[in-house]
Every structure is written in structure tokens, then in C-alpha cells.
């Protein structure tokens, strides 16, 4: 596999030739001192949906006046030493919640500064059921059983949250209250202003987030930042919560980008990827043989990769059987498909980057993901000719 992997290659552009029925991909190699081109029948975009070179600008008043060190998690310095330091993490998403318990072990104090809370749910980091099953069943059976269990449990949990939001909210808050130290109140720090799964939920292994709060070296502040000073942070209408810090971590989200910023064209005519919809959340509209790997916002990302791979391999098999060289997802003549959101979530960074992301449609096969069981069934057994043109 390593022999077929080209490291330090950045895709700069790709152009489809209708006469050749091939893509020509141009790469920048190393530090950009060298260029390279490759021809390919198929292109799979496994680029995610954010900018790897630029972070989302943090809109924090007074941040430029801070005399300490400002760190964005996307570009974490290898030599950053938080030992004995006072650290503030600004944000309430998965990145902030993940960093918080890790650095709490070494700092003098770490404070999570959040404008609004997220749902935080504890999950076990070790599955005792798996160990018990391994004693009696073949490993392949155990793996298959656990995979099915995790898929169904996750799907049922999300479905419960979306259909009974108040009951789910109460259950998650009750679980959080049990794990909090007495000095920290459930409100306002764990009182999200949205329903469960309107934004991504933070899952913490073995409750490490709550263990950090119990250590005495970690704290949480909820409110709007009035300003960042030369040596700390002032919270609006909360003078008692003014923070004196050495390091500020801005875990405020990601800058959305489609296809890694690759310039795309067909027969030399430019195409803007972010203007295109995804067929079965996989094939890129109007681009021959281009598949985008896109996962789930409320389940494992790799499940989305499973369905995308199933779509691609079926299309490849169909092409080979019938002698075709290209498959292009196209809104067929006479059909009207309205654009819809690819992620049905209202996280700030997604709202800010909505115009830079692939689109979904308001009807199948252009609709966004419906849930892994249904998506897999459609990917494995659905028609390949619905809004698909072969040539």
C-alpha cells in the first residue's frame, strides 16, 4: 500500500477530457518546488470539508492585545508546554471538550470559556461485553456483532433525541449533574439553548471531562467575552469571573472548504465544486467519475465512507459490464430539484461556511443522508440509472 501512496503531494487542479474520458490531475510536490501530473479514470475526494491551511478567524474582541500565547488547535505547536501555566480554552465543541481533560493534567489551571453550552455525554472507553464474547465466539462473529450493535444503538439514540427532545435533554442533564463536583452548578454551564443533535453532541470517554472538573485544576465559565486584555479575559456582566491566563486556545471552529480548494474544470471550462449537489451524498453532480467521501454528523464518519464505496464499486462494475467509461450524476431534463442543506445542523462554523460546501437536494437521489440502514440499502440495491448518465 505504501508503494502506491504518494506523500507530500498537494492536488492543485483537475481537468476532465471528454475526448480521452480521463481526468488530468496536477500536483504540487514537496514545498512546491516541483509539479507533477497524473491521468486517472476515476477521482475520489477524501478531503473532508474544511481548510487545512487556514483556520476559521476567531471573532474575539481584544484578542490582538493579548501578550501571552494564542494557539489554534488546527495548528498546535509541537513545542507548546502548558506545564504550570494558566490556560483558557475558548469554545464548547468537540475540539474544546477533547483538549480540556488532556491538558488539565499538567496545567496550573485550565478554564473552558463558552458562549453557549453543548450536550456532553459520557460513554465507556472499554467494552466488557466484547471481552466476554471473545471467550466463547470466533473473533469475526464478535466483531460483526459489535459493529451491528454500535450502529443500531447510535441510530436509535439519535432517533430518540430528535423525536423526544425534551426527554433526551432531561436525561443528558441528569447524567451530567451526577458527575459534576458540588462547586459547579448544572445551570448555566450545561443548559444548551438548542435541542439534542441540532448540533453535534460531545461524547467523552469514561467521563474524562467531568473527572478534570473534579481535579480542582479545571473550571468552566459561561458567558460572552467582553474583551481580552493584555493578561487575561473579561466576561461580560461577570466581573467575578475575570481570568488571568498565560495561554489562550481558540477552539472556535473550522473554516469550511470543498474538495481541498482544488481548481476543477471540464474540457478547460471551470467548475465551482461548492455549487454542486451530491448524488446519494457521494457522486458529484455534473462531474464524470468523481466521488466525494462524506460521512455523518450524528454517527461514525466511516459509515458514510462505507456507503460511498458501495456506490462507486457498483458503478464501476456497471461500466465494465456495459462498456461505459464514465458515469455522471445529472439532474435529468424535466426534473426540478431544489437545493437543501447537506448537514441539518446549525453550528456556527457550518452556518458561516454554508456557501462553501457541497449541496444536497430536496428529493431522492439528491437528498442528504437519511440514516445508515436506509442509506446502505439504497447504495447496495438502489437503481444506478436514476439521474445518472453513462457514456
pLDDT in tens, 249-302: 999 888 888 998 899 999 999 999 999 999 999 999 999 999 999 888 888 889
Q: Which pLDDT belongs to residue 89?
A: 96
Closest CA to 196 of 163, 226, 223: 163
Enter the C-alpha cell of residue 131. Answer: 471481552
- pLDDT for the residue numbered 371: 85
Domain 2-52+256-390, CATH among 3.40.718.10, 3.40.50.10190, 3.50.50.60, 3.20.20.150: 3.50.50.60
pLDDT of 345: 67
194: cell is 438548542
Kindly list the averaged pLDDT for each block of 10 residues, start to end, along the chain of length 391: 87 96 94 88 92 84 94 92 95 92 94 93 86 88 89 88 92 94 92 84 92 94 94 92 93 87 95 94 96 88 93 97 96 84 72 80 90 90 94 94
CB 257 within 8 A of CB 51: yes
Q: What is the pLDDT of residue 67?
A: 95
Predicted pLDDT of residue 2: 81
Q: Same fold for the domain at 2-52+256-390 and the one at 63-250?
A: yes
What local confidence, expressed as pLDDT, does residue 353 receive?
A: 67
63-250 fold: FAD/NAD(P)-binding domain (3.50.50)
Kindly state the greatest CA–CA separation across the chain: 73
- pLDDT digit string (tens) for 318-361? 999 999 999 999 998 778 889 888 777 666 667 676 778 899 99
Sketch the domain layout of the chain as residue ranges: 2-52+256-390, 63-250
Pairing of strands 202-205, 120-123: parallel
Q: What is the C-alpha to C-alpha distance for residues 46 and 41, in angstroms, rounded to an integer?
A: 16
What does the chain come to in residues? 391
How far apart CA 128 and CA 10 sit, in angstroms, is 43
Burial of 390 (0-12, 13-18, 19+ CB in 10 A): middle
Q: Which residue in the block uniquely carries the three cell numbers 480540556?
A: 100
Amino acid at each position: 500500500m505504501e508503494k502506491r501512496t504518494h506523500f507530500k503531494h498537494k492536488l492543485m487542479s483537475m481537468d476532465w477530457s471528454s475526448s480521452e474520458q480521463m481526468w488530468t490531475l496536477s500536483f504540487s510536490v514537496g514545498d512546491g518546488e516541483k509539479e507533477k501530473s497524473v491521468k486517472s479514470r476515476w477521482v475520489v475526494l477524501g478531503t473532508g470539508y474544511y481548510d487545512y491551511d487556514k483556520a476559521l478567524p476567531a471573532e474575539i474582541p481584544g484578542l490582538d492585545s493579548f501578550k501571552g500565547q494564542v494557539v489554534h488547535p488546527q495548528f498546535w505547536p509541537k513545542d507548546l508546554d502548558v506545564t504550570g501555566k494558566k490556560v483558557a480554552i475558548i469554545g464548547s465543541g468537540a475540539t474544546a471538550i477533547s483538549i480540556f481533560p488532556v491538558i488539565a493534567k499538567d496545567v496550573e489551571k485550565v478554564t473552558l470559556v463558552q458562549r453557549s453550552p453543548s450536550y456532553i455525554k459520557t460513554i465507556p472507553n472499554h467494552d466488557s461485553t466484547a471481552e466476554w464474547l471473545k471467550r466463547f465466539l470466533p473473533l469475526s462473529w464478535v466483531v460483526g456483532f459489535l459493529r451491528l450493535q454500535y450502529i443500531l444503538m447510535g441510530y436509535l439514540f439519535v432517533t430518540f433525541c430528535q423525536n423526544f427532545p425534551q426527554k433526551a435533554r432531561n436525561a443528558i442533564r441528569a447524567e451530567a449533574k451526577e458527575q459534576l463536583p458540588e462547586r459547579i452548578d448544572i445551570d448555566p454551564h450545561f443548559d444548551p439553548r438548542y435541542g439534542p443533535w441540532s448540533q453535534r453532541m460531545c461524547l467523552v470517554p469514561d467521563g474524562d471531562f467531568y473527572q478534570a472538573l473534579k481535579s480542582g485544576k479545571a473550571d468552566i465559565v459561561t458567558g460572552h467575552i467582553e474583551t481580552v486584555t493584555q493578561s487575561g479575559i473579561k466576561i461580560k456582566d461577570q466581573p467575578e469571573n475575570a481570568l488571568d491566563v498565560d495561554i489562550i486556545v481558540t477552539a472556535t471552529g473550522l473554516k469550511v472548504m470543498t474538495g481541498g480548494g482544488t481548481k476543477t474544470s471540464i474540457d478547460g471550462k471551470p467548475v465551482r465544486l461548492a455549487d454542486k449537489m451530491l448524488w446519494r451524498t457521494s457522486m458529484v453532480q455534473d462531474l464524470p467519475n468523481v466521488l466525494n467521501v462524506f460521512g455523518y454528523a450524528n454517527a461514525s464518519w466511516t459509515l458514510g465512507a462505507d456507503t460511498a464505496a458501495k456506490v462507486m464499486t457498483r458503478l464501476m462494475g456497471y461500466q465494465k459490464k456495459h462498456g461505459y467509461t464514465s458515469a455522471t450524476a445529472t439532474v435529468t431534463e424535466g426534473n426540478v430539484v431544489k437545493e437543501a442543506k447537506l448537514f441539518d445542523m446549525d453550528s456556527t462554523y457550518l452556518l458561516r461556511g454554508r456557501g462553501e460546501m457541497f449541496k444536497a437536494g430536496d428529493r431522492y437521489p439528491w437528498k442528504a443522508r437519511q440514516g445508515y440502514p436506509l442509506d446502505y440499502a439504497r447504495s447496495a440495491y438502489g437503481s444506478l440509472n436514476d439521474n445518472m448518465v453513462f457514456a
